Amino acid sequence: MHIEALGTLEARESVDLTLNVADRVTAIYFDDGDRVTKGKTLLSLAQGEQAALVDAAEATANEARQRYERTKQLVGARTVSQSALDEAERDLNAANASCAPCSRARKTGCLWRRSMACWASVW
């Protein structure tokens, strides 16, 4: 017996790649139709914009740290008020808080890397 039919095949499992960053794709590690496993690196991004944001956050934190140290010395010499030191400390804490996720991500390498890898979750 022979049956002819028209139809569409659809994979049982598939994944849609979406990124919450805008950057240039530098490498793709799969071909259309490839079977991939959970955790496999699928593509790499240049990460120019994110690297610039990390660099800016780190520069702001360094500047706040320098300002705090200068103000601390001036308070010791009684040339500025304690409130100026409190303000410098507040700015330092805010800069460090903004920079903490960036520093953590650089250390772990899971994000903000100059050549970031994107992983897809396959269920």
pLDDT at 16: 74
Tell me the residue type at 118: C
pLDDT at 104: 63
- 99-122 per-position pLDDT tens digit: 777 666 555 544 433 333 333 333
How many domains does the chain fold into?
Answer: 1
Boundaries of domain holding 113: 48-119
Residue 59, in any domain of the structure: yes
Is 34 or 109 the better-scoring residue by pLDDT? 34
Is 56 or 84 the better-scoring residue by pLDDT? 84
Residue 113, in any domain of the structure: yes
Task: Give the burial string for 77-96 (b: 16+ CB within 10 Å, else e).
Answer: eeebeeeebeebeebbeebe
pLDDT at 102: 67
Residue 42, in any domain of the structure: no
Both tokens of 9, joined, read 């095949």
The proportion of the chain whose per-residue pLDDT surpasses 90, expressed as a percent, equals: 28
Residue 52, in any domain of the structure: yes
As a whole number of angstroms, the distance between CA 38 and CA 4 comes to 37
Residue 11, in any domain of the structure: no
Residue 37, in any domain of the structure: no
pLDDT at 42: 82
Residue 27, in any domain of the structure: no
Number of H helices, E strands in the chain: 2, 3
Residue 66, in any domain of the structure: yes
